[in-house]
Amino acid sequence: MPEILSHLIWVVFPSGIFAVFAWVGTQFVFKPVREFFDTRVKVRQRTLLIWDIPEVHSIEPSERLQYYASLGPTRDALAELGVQLVSFDQSETMASWFVRKLGFKPAAAGIVIRTIAQQLGTTSEDRDANFRRLDTALKFKFDANWPFYNPYNPGPHKKKS
């Protein structure tokens, strides 16, 4: 009988403790970190699509109100992504600490995305500056001398020879 008890104490019990810590790590750190990276991919996809949306300055003044209204679903989707990033930073303490240690800034990115959503389709939109701030916060790579979203639609940029 003492052999079984000794076996339980030295083998089974530590294995159980390890399993509990592994479960906690998976549920409270790794799963939310994976969700952050999934949200980051969605943000990148959205911004790549938004880069091609005409800026309001290129729309006839008489059509701007209708244009602004047509961008409502896009603004809502962006705002949702921004809220996800800010709430991740505020509620997933361990996971957001880990993500910030990797150099990402989820709260700052969420605020910038919400700013992009609010300005989209308005005359106060500064798409280039906002996207650059977003790219910095989420560590997307870009070249300051070349448009980083669509080289076929460079927006205000021109390729420097």
Query: Tens digit of pLDDT for each residue in 111-131?
Result: 999 999 999 999 999 888 898
| 65: pLDDT strictly greater than 90 | yes
Token output for 111: 């605020």
Tokens coding 42 = 């969605």
pLDDT tens digits, one per residue of 4-56: 767 667 766 777 788 888 887 777 789 999 999 999 999 999 988 888 888 88
Residue written as token pair 């927006």: 155
Contacts of 137 (CB under 8 A, 6+ apart): 104, 105, 106, 108, 109, 112
Average pLDDT over residues 49-71: 89
What is the distance between the alpha carbons of residues 112 and 107, in angstroms, rounded to a whole number? 9
**The length of the chain, given as a count of residues:** 161
**CA triple 83-86-92, angle to 5 deg:** 120
Could you state, in order of their start, the residue ranges of all structural domains in the chain? Answer: 36-137
Rounded CA-CA distance 77/117 in Å is 8
pLDDT (0 to 100) of residue 156: 54
Kindly report which listed range (2-16, 87-101, 131-145) carries the lowest average pLDDT score.
Answer: 2-16
In whole angstroms, give the CA distance from residue 118 to residue 140.
22
Q: How far apart are CA 50 and CA 44, in angstroms?
A: 10
Residue 55: strand, helix, or coil: coil
- Confidence (pLDDT) at 138: 95
Determine if residue 121 is left, alpha or beta; phi over 0 gives left, psi from -120 to 50 gives alpha, anything else beta.
Answer: left
